[in-house]
Structure 1
Amino acid sequence: METALVSNIQKFSLDDGPGIRTTVFFKGCNLSCAWCHNPECISRFPTLQFIADACTGCRHCQSLCPQGVHLFKGKEHLLQRQLCEACGACCQGCLSDALVLNGKHYTRKQLLSIIMQDQDYYQDTGGGVTVSGGEPMLQADFIAGLLASCKKEGISTAVDTAGNVPFSEYEKVLPWTDFFLYDIKAFSRDIHRKYTGCDNSRIQANLRQLKEHGATVYVRIPVIPGVNDSMEEQTHIADFLKQVQPDKIELLPYHSYGTGKYSSFGLPYRLTGLQPPPQETMENILTLFLAWKLPAVIS
């Protein structure tokens, strides 16, 4: 039976498309964005989360772990993550919920059942389901089947994507997707490569092709201070998007809400101390996009 690995299912989401939505966050991403606020979705495998503040030091996990991951030095709880095989034994025995295994396999039927629980809210508010991540398009075959099932039930569908997969993967989901939430993080290839780990040629080409295929696309631009917030870089983005003509552009000011999760997954955060962009910067960028007659808003 085909399954997909899911990090989290967020009900009553208001940030992933219009109306009240259920957002399914799939694990696995092929970018490494320095500002990522979903580090739990980066790995394509189940990952152990350790919430240090919740740990009582009972050491029960140490006795349960068959790999010797957990070490205690006085009151300090240390993890040898290189030994972890994500078996979940320590999580099941953690009395304080300080240990969580992030990532669970679902069938399409199981996910559809959860999504349909809030069908009345979708109808009343113009909402639906959004598949996100990570990069959900790394599991495109599964996504296509799930979205097809949702459409048969009259549920609106959206795909939140960074665009870095072959276009043939998008062709699998196009018939079942009402709109795409599509990230454009930078126009400059050097900036994109430095802060995401990859070139953006395919991302730009895929956006063009989606619009050529008649897809509804809402472009999202994270505005990151010191990365892509210069007027020069934003002008390049505006010029590119003027050619593509997306249906909507959302300017997303950087926030640090997800930074606390990095240490719980044993990951470093590259933009420590970075502050959100000033409101003046966001308004200047918005003015620029509106001057190019682009349908932009600050979200």
Structure 2
Amino acid sequence: MKLPAVINVQKFSVHDGHGIRTSIFFKGCLLSCWWCHNPESQSFNRELMFDPGKCTGCGLCVKACPHDAVTVGEDGHAHTSKGTCVTCGACLDWCPNECREIVGTQRYTVDELVQKALEDQQFYERSGGGVTLSGGECMVQDPDFMEELCRKLHFEGIDIAIDTCGYAPLGTYRRLLPYVDTWLYDIKMIDEEKHIKYIGRSNDVILRNLEFLAHNGASLNIRIPTIGTVNDDDESMLAVIEYLKSHVGMPPVNLLPYHTTGSSKYTRLGRLYLARDLQVPSEERMEHLKDLFLQHGFDNVQIGG
């Protein structure tokens, strides 16, 4: 059984599911959404994050690197060659300003994660909370690991929510279905051409998996990242509405307005932020889209969450 990389085990989370929750963020996702606010969760590999704003160009990381992957540039900042760096972390302890970080180093056994979850069981019971498995994408981790984790959490009486983009093997959804209480399921858009452009892949797998869950009694909560100039127009939302009514039903819907809080992470990863020119939808626009769902018979529609 392969132990997946975990970015964070966040306690007292109140955003991803009911009540007080422990959210476990796994590293690795097969999609590449332009606006992803956790880009460090996309790759399955260890990655170096570097904050140039903290770097003073002291050069200690250059001396510490056993692979000669670091140099100090003319701008006075350290620069790391991605082709040479093996993310060994030798440079981290030498940096006096803590501007270097390796993500993807944490790995836990199933029992270790269950034990972490059990530490806050009293809060779950009082608030109706539980554990949320997220990412990255938890459904593309080792399926044996995920099934055992869900089975043991379920045995302990802990409510389980899975936050998923839907792009994962159908077999994994089938295996986890008996243990999961709520599926927080992302839909970005129905238009396949736009989906490939902004998400990196077709939405056929995502829709197939959603229909499987809907037709097999899963408790669904549809979450729609809402991005100005991409999918906040009436035509895009009406396409989602009609698809849901025809193939899924009318489950609760959360409209999640786009935000730019994760943009600095792209700089720290040495990546281009493709969403830099996209727009944050106005409050008025979000209320209009909420009303659009209500007008078409959906009775549980929230902005945010």
The two structures have a TM-score, normalised by structure 2, of 0.94
CA shift at 1:94, angstroms?
2.7
Residue 111 of structure 1: which of 110, 113, 123 is its match?
113
In structure 2, the CA distance between the partners of 1:15 and 1:171, relative to structure 1 (3 Å rule), is: same
Taking only the aligned residue pairs, the percentage that are identical comes to: 41
> 2:128 aligned with 1:123, yes or no?
no
CA shift at 1:224, angstroms?
0.5
CA deviation string 1:184-225 (max 9, x = no partner): 000111111110011111111111110111010101001101
In angstroms, what is the RMSD of aligned CA positions? Answer: 1.4
Structure 2 residue runs without a partner (length 5+): none
User: In structure 2, what is the equivalent of residue 85 of structure 1?
Assistant: 86
SS at match of 2:23: strand
CA deviation string 1:71-111 (max 9, x = no partner): 11352221212212111211233333211110122111222
Counterpart-to-counterpart distance in 1, 2:302 and 2:166: 21
Counterpart-to-counterpart distance in 1, 2:196 and 2:242: 20
Counterpart-to-counterpart distance in 2, 1:52 and 1:143: 37
SS at match of 2:271: coil
Counterpart-to-counterpart distance in 2, 1:279 and 1:204: 28
Q: Which runs of 4+ in 1 moved over 4 A?
A: none
* Equivalent residues of 1:141, 1:172 under 8 A apart: no
CA deviation string 1:20-56 (max 9, x = no partner): 1111111111111011011010110111111222334
AA of the residue aligned to 1:125: S
User: In structure 1, what is the equivalent of residue 297 of structure 2?
Assistant: 293
CA shift at 1:58, angstroms?
3.1
AA of the residue aligned to 1:108: V
CA shift at 1:273, angstroms?
4.1
Counterpart-to-counterpart distance in 2, 1:225 and 1:136: 27
Counterpart-to-counterpart distance in 1, 2:177 and 2:94: 44
Q: Name the count of aligned residue pairs.
A: 299
CA deviation string 1:133-189 (max 9, x = no partner): 111111132122111111122211111111112211101111111111100000111
Moved more, 254-263 or 83-92: 83-92
User: In structure 1, what is the equivalent of residue 257 of structure 2?
Assistant: 253
> 2:271 aligned with 1:270, yes or no?
no
Structure 1 residue runs without a partner (length 5+): none
User: In structure 1, what is the equivalent of residue 103 of structure 2?
Assistant: 102
AA of the residue aligned to 1:248: P
